[in-house]
Amino acid sequence: MSLMLEEITEQPVVLERTLNAEREKVGKLRQFLSEKEIDLIVLVARGSSDNACQFGRYLLEVNCGIPVSLSAPSVYTLYNAKLNLERALVVGVSQSGEGTDINTVLEQAKASGAFTLGITNEADSTMAKIADETLLIHAGREKSVAATKTYTGQMLHFYNLVSALSDAKINFEKIPHYVAQVLQLRTQVQEIVERYVFMENCVVVGRGMNYGNSYELALKLMETCYVVAERFSSADFFHGPLAIVERRFPMILFAPNGVTKQSNLDLLTRLQELNADSFSITNDEEIAKLSSRYLQMPRDLDETLSPIPFIVPAQLFAALLAEAKGLNPDEPRSLSKVTKTI
C-alpha cells in the first residue's frame, strides 16, 4: 500500500485527535477574539493549504458575516506593499509551517497591527514561532508528498475558527464518523478507477462549500496521475469552458444535496445532451440518476459538513488511479514535500 493510501485511511483518527487536543485552545481563542474588533479575515497559503482556504472563505463568510480575503503573497514579497491590517485577523495555513512567503506575510501583517493565527502540523515550525496563536493539526508526520490528512486537518480548523468567532451551531464533531463511513467506499472507488485508467484530461466541478475541493482533486490528479485537470464552479463552467466538452469527455463533480443542487442538475442535464462522461460524488438521488456513474455518500450529511467527507473518496480515486496507471503516488516527478517560494 502506498504512503498516500495509508495516510488517507488515518484521517478519522487524525481528525478526532485534532478535535480533542485543540478544544481547550479554541475556547481560549474564542474568549480572546470576542474582545477584539475584527472587520476582515485574510487567509494566506499555497498549494493544498490554499485549497483548504478556499473552503475556509465560504465557511467563515457564511457563518461569521466577516469579509474574507485570500492573500496574494507576491503583493508583500515582490511588490513590497504595506497594508493597513489593524482590525484584521490574518491566518497562515501551511502543513510544514516553513513556507517562506507565507511566513513573510504573517510577519508583515503582525507589524501592520493584525492578530495572526497559524494553522500547521508542526509545533516547532517557523510559522508557530511567528504567529500570535497556533492551531495544530495532530496528524503525525505526513510522509506522502501529496497532502491528504493535513488538508482535511486544516479544513477542520476552519470549523474551529467559526466556533471561535461566532455563535453558529455546526455539529462538526460528527465529521470523523462520516470520514470513517466513506472510507468503506474504497472497493467501489477501485471499480470506478478502472474506467479512467487512460484518462489524460478532465474537468473537476464544485461549488460553494465544495469549491475548494474541486481545486484539491484537480491538484491531486495533476501531481499523482499526470492528468491535466481543470477546475471550475458549476456556475462558472457555463461561461465559456463548456465549449471544451465533447463525447465521453470526463467530468468529476462534487455534488451534495443542498443549495448548490440545482446548478449541478442543470450542468448534468447539459452534459447528458453532449454525451459527456460524468462521475459524481453525491448524496442526492436526482444527481445520481443524471450521472454516468456516482459514489453514494451518507444521505444525512448536511452540505455544511460535506467538504471533508466528500474529499476522502476523491483522494482514494487519485491514489488508486495513480497505481492503476503504473505510477507511484508517493514519488511524483519534479516535486518535494516542502516548497519554499518568494
Lowest-confidence region among 140-144, 244-248, 273-277, 280-284: 244-248
The answer to whether residues 224 and 4 touch, using CB atoms and an 8 Å cutoff, is yes
End-of-domain residue from the set 129, 149, 170 = 170
pLDDT tens per residue across span 85-98: 999 999 999 999 99
Q: In the prediction, which pLDDT does 311 show? A: 98
Tell me whether residue 342 is in a domain.
no
Beta strands in 122-210 (DSSP E): 133-136, 201-205
Domain shared by 210 and 140, yes or no: no
Confidence of residue 199 (pLDDT cuts 50, 70, 90): very high
Tell me whether residue 154 is in a domain.
yes
pLDDT tens per residue across span 222-249: 999 999 999 999 888 766 677 778 889 9
The answer to whether residues 63 and 162 touch, using CB atoms and an 8 Å cutoff, is yes
Confidence of residue 1 (pLDDT cuts 50, 70, 90): confident
Domain shared by 189 and 129, yes or no: no
Q: In the prediction, which pLDDT does 339 show? A: 58
Which residue, chain included where needed, has cell 496574494? 72
Q: What number is the average pLDDT over the span 247-258?
A: 95
**H helices then E strands: how many in the chain?**
14, 10
Q: In the prediction, which pLDDT does 82 show? A: 87
pLDDT tens per residue across span 127-141: 999 999 999 999 999
Domain shared by 63 and 150, yes or no: yes
Domain shared by 55 and 143, yes or no: yes
| Residue 296 CB burial class (10 angstroms; 0-12, 13-18, ≥19) | middle
Tell me whether residue 332 is in a domain.
no
Q: What number is the average pLDDT over the span 274-297?
A: 97
Q: In the prediction, which pLDDT does 33 show? A: 95
Give the integer Cα–Cα distance in Å for 122 and 131.
13
Q: In the prediction, which pLDDT does 338 show? A: 55
Dmax (CA) for the chain in angstroms is 57
Domain shared by 19 and 157, yes or no: yes
Average pLDDT value over all residues in the chain: 94
- Give 66-100 as a DSSP string: --EEE--THHHHTT------TTEEEEEEESSS--H
pLDDT tens per residue across span 107-162: 999 999 999 999 999 999 999 999 999 999 999 999 998 999 999 999 999 999 99
- Domain containing residue 264: 176-324
**Whether the predicted pLDDT of 275 surpasses 60:** yes
**Whether the predicted pLDDT of 287 surpasses 80:** yes
Domain shared by 131 and 117, yes or no: yes
Q: What number is the average pLDDT over the span 195-221?
A: 97
- Count how many domains the chain has: 2
Q: Which residues contact 216 (CB under 8 A, 6 or more apart)?
A: 48, 51, 52, 151, 311, 314
Helix 307-324 vs helix 149-165: crossing angle, to nearest 10: 170
Q: What number is the average pLDDT over the span 327-333?
A: 87
Q: In the prediction, which pLDDT does 342 show? A: 61
CATH code, 58: 3.40.50.10490
Domain shared by 279 and 183, yes or no: yes
